Structure 1
Amino acid sequence: MDDLINFEIITPLGLIYKDQIKSVTLPGSEGEFGVLKGHACLISSLKSGIIDIEKKDLNHELIAINEGYSEVNETKVCVLAKDAIWISGDNQSEIEKNLTKAKELIKSVSSDNAALAATLSKLDNKG
């Protein structure tokens, strides 16, 4: 498909996500921003929050990060994060466990109550 962009997330523990996706919304330090194929090149710092990935099949996946950087070009988005929790699993129990970990990660690093509430709301809507 011509409208897909390569996306990956790397933490100090290694590569945790890699796929071709339709779009991604990132928690930029100056506010959220979305990326589609053909986006202008940029490097941005990221604050703690939720990365919302729109997959090829138009389903969404969420990944919580505590902070990091993103490098964007016309065909690829690479996120370097201090820590990340992929909110997924093979069953509801595993998803709930990862959702709890993601909430704990965000709470542990967020000092902005409004941003924390917005992020936790996104996570609650996932569960």
Structure 2
Amino acid sequence: MTLNLRIMAPNRVVWNSQTEEIILSTNSGQIGILKNHTPLLTALDIGIIRIRIDSTWTTMALMGGFAMIDNNKVTILVNEAEQASQIDFEKAQENFRVAQDNLIKAEGKKQIIEANLAFKRAKARFEAVSAIS
């Protein structure tokens, strides 16, 4: 028996298939999910998801959302998601570097919050594409 994983963004179904293991970035850290996991509803942080089918891992950048786990079904609602295979490595690396610089230079609460969110998004994309490079 496996897990049924469905990832949905506002405008599309990003992923819908059977999987054997999932690793998610939640607001309180990473969590691993295997079959027969206890029911859970959790907020997701901006970060990556790792999906294992057989012995192959797929990585995706998730831009925050929620995950519900119940009866070997995992439903994930996200603001946006990008598969690592669709991310350009050099562009992601450059965006990550720029986001780091902007976070260091940020002043004032609003600018710091915006720079931190941009940094987290850039970091998630860079980590996702780095996992396959």
TM-score class, shorter: 0.7 to 0.9
Offset at 1:14? 1.6
Q: Answer whether contact 2:63 2:121 (CA < 8 A) is retained.
A: no
Aligned-partner Cα distance in 2 for 1:52–1:117? 17
Tell me which structure has the larger Cα radius of gyration.
2
TM-score (norm 2): 0.72
Offset at 1:123? 3.4
TM-score (norm 1): 0.75
What residue ranges of structure 1 are gaps of 5+ in the alignment?
89-94
Matched, 1:6 2:4: yes
Task: Give 2:59's match in structure 1, choosing from 35, 40, 62.
Answer: 62
Match of 2:77, SS state, is: strand
Matched, 1:97 2:88: yes
Match of 1:47, SS state, is: strand
The amino acid that maps onto 2:23 is T
Q: Answer whether contact 1:87 1:99 (CA < 8 A) is retained.
A: no
Give the alignment's Cα RMSD to 1 decimal. Answer: 3.2
Aligned-partner Cα distance in 2 for 1:24–1:103? 28
Q: Answer whether contact 2:5 2:75 (CA < 8 A) is retained.
A: yes
Q: What is the aligned length?
A: 115
Matched, 1:37 2:35: yes
What residue ranges of structure 2 are gaps of 5+ in the alignment?
100-113
Task: Give 2:74's match in structure 1, choosing from 57, 73, 77.
Answer: 77
